[in-house]
Amino acid sequence: MALEKIITVRGRAVYVPGSDIDTDRIIPARFMKCVTFDGLGQYLFYDVRHQEDGTAKAHPLNDPKHAGASILISGANFGCGSSREHAPQALHKAGFRAVIAQSFAEIFFGNCATLGMPCVVAAAEDIERLAAAVEADPTLEVTIDIEKNRVFFGDQDCPIHVADSARDAFLAGLWDPIGELLEGEADIAETAGKLPYLAAR
């Protein structure tokens, strides 16, 4: 079964301002003691969203008007710090399907890509314009068009950039190398059967 081609991502957005937002802020290390990634979404940005007693702080992700947002908007060097895979997984489990920022840490970017969650780069002034539009109307639909390299919101749009390798993989439905490997299981078995040192076992 072929992977889904990711040509556009549509949804409501939420702006989490700041640069150098690292993976420890995205998912604090103490929540990484898990066998699977299920349930990580509830701990997304936990320490900046909650007081020590667990009560909610004022934070964009705690604001009811942004409930159900599936596109995160942020600043430069998003996902820096530790290369932990749990950070993209927490975003994905929380319902996010794309991130728009000024730039991304390379390993974070790659981990998001293998989840089918595009990380797209936009200029600072365009992010400010998009964030202002979302703040003015939290129900605004934002469309990330991977094919056209643009983001559309209301009657506005702006250019984006996606690394060519990731863009090609999204558009071709080849963004998950493990999925591709599993799809080739029959071919792998056939090749293994022809190897004398395996056939003799």
Span 57-112, pLDDT tens digits = 999 999 999 999 999 999 999 999 988 899 999 999 999 999 999 999 999 999 99
Question: Which token pair is 23?
Answer: 């993976």
Q: Tell me whether residue 190 is in a domain.
A: no
Query: Which CATH number covers residue 167?
Result: 3.20.19.10
Q: Tell me whether residue 129 is in a domain.
A: yes
What is the pairing mode between strands 150-153 and 142-145?
antiparallel
User: Is pLDDT above 50 for 8?
Assistant: yes
Host domain of residue 38: 8-174
Tokens 């990330």 belong to residue: 144
Q: Tell me whether residue 201 is in a domain.
A: no
- Residue 1: pLDDT band (50, 70, 90) is very low
What's the whole-model pTM score?
A: 0.87
Span 24-63, pLDDT tens digits = 999 988 887 776 777 888 989 999 999 988 899 999 999 9
Q: Tell me whether residue 165 is in a domain.
A: yes
Nearest to 87 by CA among 113, 54, 111: 111
3-state secondary structure of 26: helix
Q: Tell me whether residue 118 is in a domain.
A: yes
Q: Tell me whether residue 183 is in a domain.
A: no
Residues 167 and 109: beta-carbon distance below 8 Å:
no
Q: Tell me whether residue 195 is in a domain.
A: no
Domain count, the chain: 1
Q: Tell me whether residue 154 is in a domain.
A: yes
